[in-house]
Structure 1
């Protein structure tokens, strides 16, 4: 096995390498926000941790306190600080004096849950690490306590997928106690790594505040299904989303306006939602934040030409050995983002072989079915998009008049508008208001 020194390769595989993006965009205004770490991967994660403070899922001071003690590039340090913060916040939530007020209960447990999710980010290199399960059990239990304290408690669901032979994990949020309210309803799915619990903070809180019902869901490869059912990602996402649509229109038909049913896909969920929309005519509209044209095209884009050539020549053993050697070498040539992307990608796609991982991603492309999408589609793009740079415009162009393309710029120009959730939400709901009234 060759060392990182002998290969001379450096990667930013499978992640948001914003420095590379800024250079490729030719912008002089990068980064548009103040970075909280010299490590770009950590800096991005810190923004995600902070943005949930808008909806009770974080407190700014405690997050910044954890950030202060995290060493750039040290994944163990990142895990330990957020795990410590999560446990400390859990202790606050369990204090009997906290329980008199449902708002206290809700926000404290939401924060604890999110801190446990932060503690989970960088621990997937070793699949047998018990923390992968124990940290997730903690975040799930904390989140369930939080949604139980909502004005209308959230409802965790398991929805069978008869054709897929698996169970979809979902959470239903009602916007009204009226058992006959016919309300607009949003179905929200994440992508590569974010959990459906994150979807509450990204989309559902904003939807509920506007009088929308909301349901989040996860399928194979995503956090809970990967853990409880041992399933990696599948490209045929209609097998995941269609059972959710069935549930919404049957079990919740009294409270759902079937003419205002919207599917949202976040990040790689932009592929999943588009794929599902191609097979689901009952949807009124789809929202892609952002658009994903070809997952393989995006994931290979940061690979050095020499290493990509090894893979494309079919020398898979050599490719695997070289990329894993780089991952485990004590070298700054392999960025935190690259390590995370490789670790998490192998785990989520359920393969120990990097070449098999790349081969699997070739099946996640929307070109073959995009012509089947027959509804209005909002396609969100980002000025500082990472591995999917340029792909949202391809999706929009292929959809033609069915699409509304929107480029988020400046401080809202990070992937999925991290740190600018209010602008993203305002833009989406303004578009939905126009489209669904037409």
Structure 2
């Protein structure tokens, strides 16, 4: 997403180019890119494609900036599963717009909303369910603030904001009935925190879905994009922080790995040791950039019975515009000289904030510098890591049934879902969610219930016999 700066995008050509790429226009992360070329008809299609005058028509435009708008839509859409409240979100939107849209006003407004929900309501004594869902909504609003904090006046509060959101999430989990089983699954030197949700504590063997988050999501997003839907259907659901995510990133400073099978295999081992898991029906989903991570894991972890990429992603590096990608060369010194001497000095504040956010999951030094209000100096190392996430050559190893999701006006990885689908040799299906029912944009932020219906209907068909 993007940050708003009052600075005009003027100056040298490189400055103007970068301002257009990652400034107010939001082209790095949003701005409704479309897939190039055309593709043959998929095996199945969800909803009729119909555009209504732009990616976010009418009431779907909360903010003029597409990056802030996308985040606001995620909070608004989460209301369907109790991870947001329409009135709270729209009131916050009005507050931000009245103050003047910026990373500062957005972060401050949603942080305060999270703080308010962690306190008891003014009138009456809250019951368990009230406290529980106030905590879930607080986790959502802290996550909203967290996303933009590096562009605010207090970037050093990033870990504090993460911990506030994590505390709210843990409080929500404690009050679930039954509460999820929590554990730390071995992974290198830093175990993976996991939350294992069950419909009840009967110990019945059930289908189980492992829910994988993307490059900047929080656990509350996994409630919206899988846990609640799984429990409604009698499934177990496993949520976890992997390297580059949640606790491992913000606290332990462990960044992404291109070998995601080394993350998922210990999770499958842990699940397989449980008597309440049907080990022949373990599914794996990947949301956002995890549409790359989950397929990579499934290419090597063959105990996965079904895979869903949401959306399909082959090359996360292509999510960056060519003007950013061309900085990377095989020569580390040359690359970093270009970055530090030609690019960074010309970056408008909005572009700098965006790039700090985009690169922090791939570089602990970049994250720590950003928290001090500074730009990272080593572009080569995180850029090389992002480029190494390319799974083009391993998709053919996937053997289990696979569902590839795509979205009308996909703004992060346009064209990549169809490319993944075409490369798959396993039994496969392709679904494109569209504007006809408000399910457009990356991960259908306004329609997570439709999103989950598609995913879990498909999973039940593949693993539960219909």
Question: What is the TM-score with the length of structure 1 in the denominator?
Answer: 0.88
Q: Does 1:119 align with 2:125?
A: no
- Which of 411, 425, 434 aligns to 2:452? It is 425
How many residue pairs are counted as aligned between the two chains?
Answer: 418
Question: Structure 2 matches for 1:296-311, cutoff 5 A?
Answer: 296-299=317-320, 302-304=321-323, 308-311=325-328
Aligned partners of 1:221, 1:377: CA distance in 2, in Å? 25
Contact preservation (8 Å) 1:18, 1:385: no
| 2:84 corresponding residue in structure 1 | 58
| 2:338 corresponding residue in structure 1 | 318
Show CA shifts across 1:183-237 (max 9, x none).
1111001111001232012210111011001011111111210123211111111
Contact preservation (8 Å) 1:342, 1:354: no
Deviation at 1:48, TM superposition (A): 0.8
Contact preservation (8 Å) 2:77, 2:446: yes
Identify if the C-alpha distance between structure 1 residues 436 and 308 changes in structure 2 by more than 3 Å, giving closer, same or farther.
closer
Contact preservation (8 Å) 1:294, 1:365: yes
Contact preservation (8 Å) 1:379, 1:404: yes
- Which of 5, 15, 28 aligns to 2:11? It is 5
Q: Does 1:262 align with 2:283?
A: yes
Where do 5+ consecutive residues of structure 2 fail to align?
1-8, 39-49, 367-375
Q: Tell me, what secondary structure is at the counterpart of 1:133?
A: helix
- Which of 199, 202, 225 aligns to 1:178? It is 202
- Which of 86, 91, 110 aligns to 2:119? It is 91
Aligned partners of 1:176, 1:152: CA distance in 2, in Å? 6
- Which of 158, 162, 167 aligns to 2:191? It is 167
- Which of 207, 221, 226 aligns to 2:230? It is 207
Deviation at 1:142, TM superposition (A): 1.3
| 1:17 corresponding residue in structure 2 | 30
Where do 5+ consecutive residues of structure 1 fail to align?
none
Identify if the C-alpha distance between structure 1 residues 97 and 15 changes in structure 2 by more than 3 Å, giving closer, same or farther.
farther
Question: What is the TM-score with the length of structure 2 in the denominator?
Answer: 0.83
| 1:274 corresponding residue in structure 2 | 295
Aligned partners of 1:24, 1:247: CA distance in 2, in Å? 43
Identify if the C-alpha distance between structure 1 residues 75 and 326 changes in structure 2 by more than 3 Å, giving closer, same or farther.
farther
Deviation at 1:24, TM superposition (A): 9.3
| 1:291 corresponding residue in structure 2 | 312
Contact preservation (8 Å) 2:402, 2:426: no
Aligned partners of 2:397, 2:118: CA distance in 1, in Å? 47
Aligned partners of 2:102, 2:402: CA distance in 1, in Å? 40
Identify if the C-alpha distance between structure 1 residues 78 and 68 changes in structure 2 by more than 3 Å, giving closer, same or farther.
same
Identify if the C-alpha distance between structure 1 residues 400 and 112 changes in structure 2 by more than 3 Å, giving closer, same or farther.
same
Identify if the C-alpha distance between structure 1 residues 87 and 178 changes in structure 2 by more than 3 Å, giving closer, same or farther.
same
Aligned partners of 1:186, 1:23: CA distance in 2, in Å? 33
- Which of 426, 429, 435 aligns to 1:404? It is 429
Identify if the C-alpha distance between structure 1 residues 401 and 272 changes in structure 2 by more than 3 Å, giving closer, same or farther.
closer
Contact preservation (8 Å) 2:289, 2:313: yes
| 2:64 corresponding residue in structure 1 | 38
Aligned partners of 2:381, 2:112: CA distance in 1, in Å? 36
CA RMSD in angstroms comes to 2.6
- Which of 148, 155, 159 aligns to 1:133? It is 159
Deviation at 1:31, TM superposition (A): 2.1
Aligned partners of 2:325, 2:179: CA distance in 1, in Å? 49
Contact preservation (8 Å) 1:189, 1:265: yes
Identify if the C-alpha distance between structure 1 residues 339 and 184 changes in structure 2 by more than 3 Å, giving closer, same or farther.
farther
Identify if the C-alpha distance between structure 1 residues 86 and 221 changes in structure 2 by more than 3 Å, giving closer, same or farther.
same
Show CA shifts across 1:378-422 (max 9, x none).
100111112311111111111135221111111212101111111
